[in-house]
Structure 1
Amino acid sequence: MPAFAELLERLVFTPGRNAKLALLGQWFAEQPDPDRGIGLAALTEELAFTAAKPAVIREIAAERTDPELLRLSYDYVGDLAETVALIWQPRAGVNAPPPTLSEVVETLETAPKPEVPALIAGWLDTLDAGGRLALIKLVTGGLRVGVSARLARVALAEWSGQAVEEIEEVWHAVAPPYVPLFRWLEGAAPRPDPRDAPVFRPLMLAHPLEAADLAALRAEAWRAEWKWDGIRVQLTAGPGGKRLWSRGGEDISGAFPEILAAMDFHAVLDGELLVVRDGEVAPFADLQQRLNRKTVTARMRRDYPAAVRLYDLLVEGTEDLRPLPFDARRARLEAWHARAAPARMDLSALVPFDSIEALARLRDGARAASIEGLMLKRADAPYVAGRTRGLWWKWKRDPLTVDAVLMYAQRGHGKRSSFYSDYTFGVWREDGELVPIGKAYSGYTDEELAWLDRWIRSNTVNRFGPVREVERGIVFEVAFDAAQLSSRHKSGVALRFPRIARIRRDKPVEEADSLAAVMALVENRPAAD
C-alpha cells in the first residue's frame, strides 16, 4: 500500500504525459503480481467495492474526531478523502504493518458488509497521511490522478515494446489483476487469445480540417458523411457475447439494453449513438438523459429511444475488414445491413458532392440542419487505430459565442487541484436574475488561471462544500457548439462543448448576454403554439 500511495502522489504532481508514462512503466517493472495488476485496475476504474461508500468513510471519521471539526475541515479542504487523511487520529499502541494493495482488495471483496468499517479504520491506523489518502481513494473510487485507461495501455506498450493496438485488442479479454497480460508482455507466455470474446477494437479518429488541408483536397479522392451529434460507439457481437463500447473502450451496454437486444449478429461495427424519434435525430441533451446509467427504466427507454447510425464495418464473422480501403468496407457495410436488417440501426448516408466548393456550401448549412458538420474520409484509406493525419478529417461548423457572467468556481483535479479552475457561468433573465447555462474548465492560459484563482479567493461570497459563489464581477466570452433545451438547468438551456474563449475584463457584468439571446440560438426548439 505505501508503494501505491507514492505512485498516486507522484502522478498527481506530475503534469507531463511522458513523465506519467515513465512512472507507470516503473510501477509495472518493480511491483510484483498481483499488486501491479490491482494498481492498474484501480487507475483504470476497473475496481469497485459496493460496501465502501463515502458515507462509510464519513461515519468512521466522525467517530475519531469532533463532527463539527470534521465538517469545517471538509468545507475548507473540499475533498472528503483528503480531509479524512489529514484529520485522522490513529489509536494509540497500533504497531501492525500497513496492508499490501492485494490484501486490501482481497479482503474487501470477501468481507461481510458490517465488518467493512472496522477493517478500513484498522488499516487507516497503520498508514501515514499519504497512505490514508490512497486507501480512501482506492476503496471509494475516483482516483483522479490524470491517468486514463488509454494512457495506461500506452504505458504498457512503451514498457513492454508491444504495440498498443495489440494490447487494446486483448485488454477486455483479461480480467484484473491481468496476470496473463503481464506474462505475455514480459515474454513469459503467449498472447492472450480473446477467441470470440466481444473485445474492443481501437477506433479510427479524425483530425480537424484546417484551411491548408482543405486547399490540398481533390474531390474525387474523398467521401463525405454528416457528423452526427451523438457519441461514437462500437458494437461487438458474436458467439462469445455482445457489448456496446464507448470511443474510449468503456462498456456502456447496461445503459442501452434495446441496442444490445438488437445485436443478433456476428460482426464489429462503428457508429454514432443517438436518440431518434420518428426518424429525426434529437438534440444531444436528450441522449445525455441516457448516458452514465448502469440501468434504465422502461419510461426512460420510451421517452429517449436510442438508435445507432452506422459508419463502418470492421469485422464480418471472422473476417477482419480493417485493411480494406474505405470504399470496399462501405460496400460490405451496405450489403451486410441489407441482409441483417438490424433493428434500431441505419446507415449514415454518404453526402454527394462534385467539388470541394460544393461541399463547403453544404457544411455552411449544417447548423440550420442541427448537424455538427462533415466527416471526410479518403476513399482508399484502411481502418487504422488512432489519429493518422491525412486519412480522415472532421470539418465542424464554426462555434457560437455568448458573453456570460462567472457565478461559481470549484477546484480542479490533478495539477489543477490547488486552483479554482472549473467555472459555472450564467446570463441575465428578464427579471434581473442571473441563471446558469453551463460550466467550463478549458480555454484559458496558465497566467489567466492564476489571475482567476486569486480573484475568486478574494471575491468569494458564499461556500457550498467545495463550491465557491463569487461576486458578479467577471464576464467570459464562452464559445460553444450548440445551445439545447435542458430541464436540468434553472435557465432551461445548456451549452454543448462550452470553453472559455477569452476573459472580457473590458465588459461590465450588466452588459452580459440575456437568456432570451441564448434561447434564440437553441436548435430543434419546438414551434410556438
Structure 2
Amino acid sequence: MQLARVIATSAAVAATRSRNEKVAALSDTLREAVESGAPVEVVTDYLAGVLPQRRIGVGWRGMAKLPEPAESPSLLVTEVDAALTAIGVLSGQGSTAQRSAAVAELFGRATADEQAWLRGLITGEMRQGAGDGVMLKAIAVAAEVDELAVRRAVMLAGFAGPVAAAALTGGSAALDEVLLEVGRPLRPMLAASAPDIASALADGVEVALDSKLDGIRIQAHLDHGTVRLFTRTLDDVTDRLPEVVEAVAALSADTAVLDGEVIAEADGRPQPFQVTGSRTMSSADPDRVRTEIPLSTYFFDLLHLDGRDLVDVPALERWSLLSEVAPAHVVPRLLTSDVTEAEQFFADRLTAGHEGVVVKAPQAPYAAGRRGAGWVKVKPRHTLDLVVLAVEWGSGRRRGWLSNIHLGARDAETGELVMPGKTLGGTVTHPGWVPVGKTFKGMTDEMLAWQTERFRELQVADDGWVVTVRPEQVVEIAFDGVQRSTRYPGGVALRFARVVRYRNDKSASEADTIAAVQSYLPAR
C-alpha cells in the first residue's frame, strides 16, 4: 500500500464532521491494507496520527531544510516504517549527520503532501479527525467484530495497531486471545469530573475517596524481580526512576501490575507538578537526579497478582489485595457514604497541598480508556478573565471554524496585555507580549460559530493557520492551576485551561492582570 493512500484517507477523515463517514473511510482503508499485504498495525497507527516508533530523535529543527519534493508518489507504507525505524535507532558518534542524511533521503522521495504529512506524524502534530473512539469503531466495522471486544482488547494490549491486525486477520477468536501480559502496559482507567463532592456522591451509597495527587501516573509491572514502569501514555520510564523500581521490587508478590502515582515531596508536602515531571523527562544520570528530586511512590489499584488478572474483580477486592501487597504505598483513602465526612476529607486533602479527590465506586471493575461513573474526580475550580489575542483555524470536525484561542493577561503597571508568543510550528512575533496559555476546550458548536464570526471582525492578520486579533474580547477561563514555564517568556502557563463563557460585559481593561495569574503559582 502506498503512503499516499493513507494520506488520502486522513484528508477525507479530516474533511468531514460525520462520524459514520469517518468510520467508513477508515474501515475501507484497513480492509485494503489486509488485501494488499501492508502491515495493518502500522496503517492503523498512521491513520490515527500516531508514530509507531513513538520517538525517533527528529524534531522541527531536523526537518527545517528538506530536499525538493518528488513530483509523484512512490513511497510504500513498509518503506516509510522501515526508514523511520532505522532513523530511530541511530546513536553514538556521527549519528547526527547520519540521521540528517536519512531524513533527507526519505523526504526526497516524498511529494509535497507527503512531506507535510510526515512532518506532522513525526512531531506529533497531526491534525485530523481519527480520534480513538472513531478508530476503534472502524476496526470493529472493518473486521466485522463486536466493538466492545475491540475496546477490551485495546485496553489490555495498550495500542490499537496490534488489535487491528488481530481482528482483521483472526476475527473475534483472535480478540479473545488478547490478554493482560505482565511487562506490557495496558491503557489506564480514566475519571469523569464533578463540580463538587455532593454531585459525585449518591445518597446513602458508600464510595471511596482517593487523594488526587498532582504527580506522574505510573503503571508498575513486577515479574519475578524484574520491574518495568510506564507512564499514562505508555512510555517506558523504568531507567529514570530507580527508587520506584526498588519500591516495586520489594513488594510481597512474584508477579503484579499496579496503578499509581509518583510525586516529589518535601517535608511531607507535594512539590509543583513540574518538579515531579522533570524526573520522567530528564536525560541526566537517574541516580544523581534522584538525590536532587526524590520521589514518593503511591498506588491506588492492583490489576494483576501472582498469575491472577484482576481487571474484572470489584474494586473493593482489588484494594484489599493492594493493602496486603503494598501496605506502605497505598494512596490516602476514605470509605464513606456521608457527604459531610467526604467534604471534610476533600478539604483536608486541599490543605495538605493536593489537587482534590477521586470518588470511586467500590464495586466497579477496572475499565480502562473511557471516562465513566466508576471514577469521578473533584477539584476546586479556578477562573480568570483573560483576553483573546489570536485564534487558530480548526481541523477535522472543527474545520472552517476558528478554534484554539490564545489567551492574554493585563500588565497593571504598563497597561499592556500579556500575549502568547508561540504557535504550533512557528513563532508569532509581538514585541512586548509574552504567553499565558491557549485552549480549545469547553467550546460548544454554537460557541465555535459565534467566535468565528466575532474574531473575523477583530482580525488584524491571518497566515492561514493563526488569526491575530485586536485585544478586545474578554473570556472567562477555568483552569486547574498555574505552573512555571521556561518555554514562555512570561514564565507562567495555565494548566488544563477551558472556556467557561465569553464576557461581553467586560472590556479588555478589566481583564485580570499578570500578577493575578502568577498568584496561583504553587509555593516553591
SS of alignment partner, residue 229 of structure 1 = coil
Distance 1:361 1:192 in 2: 43
Are residue 332 (structure 1) and residue 318 (structure 2) matched?
Answer: no
SS of structure 2 residue aligned to 1:184: helix
Q: How many percent identity over aligned positions? A: 27
Spell out the pairing of 1:437-476 with structure 2 (5 A cutoff).
437-457=436-456, 459-460=458-459, 467=466, 469-476=468-475
Question: Is the counterpart of residue 514 in structure 1 residue 497 in structure 2?
Answer: no
Whether 2:49 is the aligned partner of 1:98: answer: no
- Conserved 8 A contact 1:200-1:249: yes
Q: How many residue pairs end up in the alignment?
A: 482
Cα offset, 1:353, TM superposition: 4.7
Match for 2:221 among 233, 236, 256? 236
In structure 2, which of residues 331, 342, 348 is the aligned counterpart of residue 359 of structure 1?
Answer: 342
Instruction: Give the match's secondary structure for 2:386.
Output: strand
Report SS of the residue matched to 2:109. helix
Q: Secondary structure at the match of 1:45?
A: coil
Q: Counterpart of 1:27?
A: 29
Out of 358, 365, 382, the position equivalent to 1:400 is 382
CA-to-aligned-CA distance 1:438-488 (integer Å, 9 cap, x gap): 222122333433443455455455789955543221211111223445555
Q: Spell out the pairing of 1:62-81 with structure 2 (5 A cutoff).
A: 64=68
* Pair 1:12 & 2:11 matched: no
Alignment check: 8 A CA contact 2:405 2:438 kept: yes
Q: CA separation in 1, counterparts of 2:439 and 2:83?
A: 40
- 2:283 matched residue in structure 1: 295
Query: Matches of 2:516 and 2:247 in 1, distance apart?
Result: 42
> How much has 1:279 moved relative to structure 2?
2.9
Residues in 2 aligned to 1:398 and 1:97: alpha-carbon distance in whole angstroms? 52
Residues 1:427 and 2:426 are matched in the alignment: no
Does structure 1 residue 41 correspond to structure 2 residue 23? no
C-alpha distance in 2 between matches for 1:157 and 1:107: 30
Q: Residue 380 of structure 1 aligns with which residue?
A: 363
Of 194, 217, 231, the residue aligned with 1:246 is: 231
The 3-state SS of whatever aligns with 2:8 is helix
CA drift at 1:324: 3.3
Deviations 1:72-111 (A, max 9, x none): xxxxxxxxxxxxxxxx573xxxxx8723222333355558
| TM-score normalised by L of structure 1 | 0.76
Deviation of 1:520 (Å) = 3.8
- Quote the Cα distance in structure 1 between the aligned partners of 2:233 and 2:100: 36
Question: 2:55, 2:233 → 1: CA distance?
Answer: 23
When structure 1 is superposed on structure 2, of 173-182 and 500-509 the one drifting more is 173-182
Distance 2:304 2:510 in 1: 55
Residue 274 of structure 1 is matched in structure 2 by: 263
Which is higher, the Rg of structure 1 or of structure 2?
A: 1
Structure-1 separation of matches of 2:115 and 2:520: 49
Q: Which residue of 1 aligns with 2:431?
A: none
Residues 1:275 and 1:17: Cα distance change in structure 2 (over 3 Å): farther
Q: State the match for 1:60 in structure 2.
A: 66
Unmatched 5+ stretches in structure 2: 88-97, 419-434
Mapped partners of 2:492, 2:291: distance in 1: 23
Q: Is the 8 A contact 1:36 1:177 kept in 2?
A: no
Q: Could you tell me the TM-score, scaled by structure 2's length?
A: 0.76
473-482 vs 426-435, which moves further: 426-435
CA RMSD of superposed structures (Å):
4.0
Whether the 8 Å contact between 2:315 and 2:363 is mirrored in structure 1 is yes
Q: Secondary structure at the match of 2:16?
A: coil
Query: Is 2:148 aligned against 1:146?
Result: no
Q: Does the 8 Å contact 1:460/1:471 carry over to 2?
A: yes
CA gap of 1:278–1:414, structure 2 versus 1, over 3 A, is farther
Deviation by residue 1:187-214 (Cα, 9 ceiling, x = unmatched): 58983677x5512234334443478965
1:8 Cα deviation from its structure 2 partner:
1.1
Displacement of 1:56 after TM fit?
A: 5.9
Residue 320 of structure 1 is aligned with which of 309, 314, 324?
309
- Pairing 1:496-515 to 2, within 5 Å after superposition: 496-515=495-514
Cα displacement (A) at 1:16: 4.4
Q: Which amino acid aligns with 1:283?
A: P
1:165-187 deviation line (CA, Å, top 9, x unaligned): 54226635998798566433375
SS at match of 2:333: coil
Q: Which segments of 5 or more consecutive residues in structure 1 lack a partner in the other structure?
A: 65-87, 91-95
Q: What is the match of residue 167 of structure 1?
A: 153
